[in-house]
């Protein structure tokens, strides 16, 4: 019975560790996609602005030109990014920090698991 509990506990710990590695990777991927879409928006605005004539023929052309200019400027200033409450941006750069933390936590958990097995083995004797 003690071995069953130890196996279940070990499995839960390992699944937590694996999940702790996968979720930041997915979050960084999504954040990278958001930033990429922001850059794509700037390119689209500039391409549309270049298709307009230099001297607007109608009021709508002038208004469209101004709106595209403002949208492009705002997209450059406020590049869409996912951040952790403004402390740091979540992207692939932060993965090294998270992987280091998860790895050290995994080493500590493995040490505890080994010490638990020793205690259980001594208790069964």
Q: Give the tens place of pLDDT for each residue, 75-102.
A: 889 888 888 888 888 888 888 887 788 7
CB 52 within 8 A of CB 66: no
* Percent of the chain topping pLDDT 70: 83
Q: What angle do CA 100, 105, 109 make, to 5 degrees?
A: 150
Delimit the domains of the chain by residue range: 2-124
Segments of the chain scoring below 70 in pLDDT: 1-10, 116-125
Which residues, 6 or more positions from 68, have their beta carbon under 8 angstroms from its beta carbon?
A: 45, 48, 49, 52
- What pLDDT was estimated at residue 96? 81
- What pLDDT was estimated at residue 95? 80
How large is the angle between the packed helices 59-77 and 2-51, nearest 10 degrees? Answer: 140
For the whole model, what pTM was predicted?
0.61
């Amino acid at each position: 019975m003690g071995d069953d509990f130890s196996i279940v506990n070990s499995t839960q710990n390992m699944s937590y560790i694996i999940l702790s590695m996968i979720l930041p990777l997915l979050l960084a991927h999504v954040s990278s996609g958001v930033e990429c879409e922001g850059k794509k928006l700037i390119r689209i605005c500039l391409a549309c602005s270049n298709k307009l004539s230099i001297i607007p023929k109608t009021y709508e052309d002038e208004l469209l030109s101004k709106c595209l200019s403002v949208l492009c400027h705002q997209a450059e200033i406020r590049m869409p990014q996912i951040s952790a409450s403004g402390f740091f941006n979540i992207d692939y750069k932060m993965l090294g920090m998270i992987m280091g933390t998860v790895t050290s936590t995994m080493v500590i958990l493995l040490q505890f698991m080994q010490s638990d097995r020793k205690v259980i083995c001594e208790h069964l004797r």
